[in-house]
Amino acid sequence: MRYRSTRKSVYSAKYHVIWCPKYRQRVIGGRVEARLKQIIDEVVTECGGDVIECETMPDHVHLLLELPPTVPLSALMQKPKGRSSRRLWAEFPQLRRLPALWSPSWFVSTVGGAPLDVARRYVENQQLLTSSTA
């Protein structure tokens, strides 16, 4: 596992994020897809993160990324959706027929690290280790 660091923290915070166009319209493909991936990479890099993988389907986006702990994920998600909506509408007139490009909702799951039960046992055992050494 690779850890990254800031001045005040060492971290490995990876997320799997999924979001969809409004009404699951099948509008992602071809040049729109390529431009969308560029915009996503640009935004994540500006926030100090790394895009690990970005894949699109005609009706949704899968993004695997790593972010520093100083960047709130909810704030980050507003940026690629907002920026891509404005730029894609300007660059691809066929998208202007949609009332909004993106659905306001999105899914996130953390990725990597130890499984939950391993982490739970580690935390539970800290109390036992502390009391036995005192």
pLDDT tens digit string along 55-110?
999 999 999 999 999 999 999 999 999 999 999 999 999 999 988 999 999 999 99
Closest C-alpha among 50, 53, 59, 60 to residue 13: 50
Q: Which domain holds residue 115?
A: 4-133
Catalytic-labelled residue, pool 11, 15, 23, 122: 122
- 122 in active site: yes
Q: Which CATH number does the domain housing residue 76 bear?
A: 3.30.70.1290
Determine how β-strand 14-21 pairs with β-strand 102-111: antiparallel
What pLDDT, on a 0 to 100 scale, did the predictor assign at position 25? 94
Among all chains, which residue has been given the structure tokens 């490009």?
Answer: 101
* pLDDT cut 90: percent of the chain above it: 71
The count of domains in the chain is 1
Give the pLDDT band of residue 3 (cuts 50, 70, 90). Answer: confident
What pLDDT, on a 0 to 100 scale, did the predictor assign at position 128? 64
Q: What is the mean pLDDT of the chain?
A: 90
Give yes or no for residue 130 having a pLDDT over 80.
Answer: no
